[in-house]
Amino acid sequence: MDFDLSDEQRMIVDTADKIARTFGADYWLEKENRHEFPQDFMDELGRAGFLGFCIPEEYGGNGLGMTEASLAFEALGAKGGGAAPGLLYLLASVFGGLSVFNHGNEAQKRAYLPRIASGRLLVSLGLTEPDAGSNTMNTRTFARKDGDDYVINGNKIFISGVENAGAIVLVTRTTKKEDAEKKSLGLSLFLVDLPQAAIRHTEIPKHAGDYIGTYELGIDDLRVPHSALLGQEGLGWYHVLDTLNPERIIAAVAALGVGKAAVYQAVRYANQREVFGRAIGSHQGIQFPLAAAYNKLECAWLATLKAATLYDKKAPQKKVGDVSNIAKFAATEAAVEAVYHAMQTLGGYGFAKEYHIERWWREVQLMRLAPITQQMTLNYTAEHILGLPRSY
């Protein structure tokens, strides 16, 4: 167990700090107000090599791992990005990059990974459906074999980034649940270029994070060639599982980013704001909640780094899953608490957009719901770690 950063890891954190000076809290306030995708930020990440973690050098990546990705994106978030950098990394490199790296064929890897690593290609994930929600087994979007092609029909909901994405990983059924040998069989993934006339998208006006659009999709007779299949037909659920752990690790990183950004902002404010002749930060009533929230964020950070390290060491999936799940839960709980107390610390200014806390207050709520809800992480711990009966 070594808690020291290597020279290379230290350089990554320094680079993240430098990027955060340009793309700090004011940048994200402006992006959200303008409802504008942060392409200049993505370009900068591409230049820094930050979208190529977990992608080997031969495919344009930097060959480093989830640990380095966590270090980079936690720093970008904590230094003012909030949850945004982590969420964008999830969208750019985890949904797309890892799915293609883990299950793509050589042609798909060569065609997609270098563009993902450079920031030129964003890949959305089309998993959630209106009638399935957290239960992916109930996916209804269906890919019917037609000669050498597949014809896809169905609906997806809450799919992020579609308008800025050059491709989407569509989760479909190729065998209906009722006809499958096991309900987890018969799902298949397709890597489909965007835009497509057969995929209609309608933006969902939403609570927070307006720097990335979130959409409802209607897929009508989308014809794709066999070469669009990602991985093996029928094993899509098992392929999705391979990205679940990194997804939870980076979700934890996004939560830590927003939690820490809020604590740092509250501390800066509490040190300056004088009300009864002294800085409000000198009152324990202000200090203790911020200190407690910070302690919890740091504990969650340790769990996150442990999960990332296990992932990079290729530890058994269950072992990585246990810690990734705990990290996502703990980071989100700590972040919600941190933003809550930061809001109280700023008093009325916590409500003013220019102080950022109200944006992070909205943003942190997303971490309770996506990419997995807090309840589903508790279901995991209850069943898979504690050995309690499955409750659903």
Q: Which listed residue (76, 263, 379, 380) binds ligand FAD by CB under 6 A?
A: 379
Residue 224 bridge partners (DSSP)? 150
Q: Which is nearer to ligand FAD, 94 or 343 (CB)?
A: 94
Q: 118 or 160: whose CB is closer to ligand FAD?
A: 160
Residue range at the interface with ligand FAD (CB under 6 A); choices 32-40, 42-50, 105-113, 365-373 = 365-373
Q: Does 375 bind ligand FAD (CB under 6 A)?
A: yes
Cβ proximity to ligand FAD: between 121 and 372 the closer is 372
Query: Which CB sits closer to ligand FAD, 312 or 333?
Result: 333
User: Least CB distance from residue 217 to ligand FAD, whole Å?
Assistant: 10
Give the tokens for residue 82: 């909030």
Residues 110-129 that bind ligand FAD (CB under 6 A): 124-128
Specify the residue, 80 or 209, whose C-beta has the smaller distance to ligand FAD: 209
Contact 262, 338 (CB under 8 A): yes
Q: Please check whether residue 368 is in contact with residue 332, taking contact to mean a CB–CB distance below 8 angstroms.
A: yes
Please give the backbone phi and psi of residue 138, each rounded to the nearest 5 degrees, phi first. Answer: -85, 15
Residue 199 contacts ligand FAD per CB under 6 A: no
SS3 helix, strand, coil % of the chain, rounded to 5? Answer: 60, 15, 30
* # residues contacting ligand FAD (CB under 6 A): 23
Q: How far is the CB of 91 from ligand FAD (least distance, A)?
A: 7
- Applying CB under 6 A, which of residues 6, 22, 39, 134 lies at the interface with ligand FAD? 134
Residues 20-79 that bind ligand FAD (CB under 6 A): none
- Structure tokens, 121: 């290609």
User: Buried b vs exposed e over 7-26: b needs ≥16 C-beta within 10 Å?
Assistant: eeeeebbebbeebbeebbbe
Residues 6+ apart with CB under 8 A from 34: none
Count CB atoms within 10 A of the CB of residue 100: 26
Out of 67, 136, 188, 214, name the contact with ligand FAD by CB under 6 A: 214
Return the range that interacts with ligand FAD (CB under 6 A); candidates 28-36, 282-290, 331-339, 366-374.
Answer: 366-374
Task: Using the minimum distance from each CB to ligand FAD, give the nearer residue, 201 or 341.
Answer: 201
* Span of 108-116, 290-298, 356-364, 369-377 interacting with ligand FAD by CB under 6 A: 369-377
Residue of 48, 291, 292, 369 that binds ligand FAD (CB under 6 A): 369
Distance separating the N- and C-terminal Cα atoms of the chain: 37
Tell me the closest approach of the beta carbon of residue 242 to ligand FAD, in angstroms. 16
Is there binding between residue 139 and ligand FAD (CB under 6 A)?
no
Distance from CA of residue 14 to its chain's centroid? 22
Residue 373 engages ligand FAD in binding (rule: CB under 6 A): yes
Instruction: Confirm or reject binding of residue 370 to ligand FAD (CB under 6 A).
Output: yes
Q: Which of 363, 47, 96 is nearest to 211 (CA)?
A: 363
Q: Which residues contact 109 (CB under 8 A, 6 or more apart)?
A: 59, 100, 101
Least distance from ligand FAD to the Cβ atom of residue 389, Å: 13
DSSP H helices, 273-283, are: none
CA distances to 25, 28, 86, 202, 361 from 114, rounded to whole Å, are: 29, 27, 20, 29, 35
Q: Taking phi first (over 0 means left), then psi (-120 to 50 degrees means alpha), and beta for anything else, what does residue 289 get? A: alpha
Segment (H or E) for 237:
helix 236-272
Residues 147-186 vs ligand FAD: string with x where CB under 6 A? -----------xxx--------------------------
CB of 210 to ligand FAD, least distance (A): 10
Closest residue by Cα to residue 219 from 194, 183, 184, 238: 194
Determine, following the binding rule CB under 6 A, whether residue 362 of this chain makes contact with ligand FAD.
Answer: no
Least Å distance between CB 392 and ligand FAD? Answer: 3
Residues that bind ligand FAD (CB under 6 A): 124-128, 133-134, 158-160, 206, 209, 214, 366, 369-373, 375-376, 379, 392
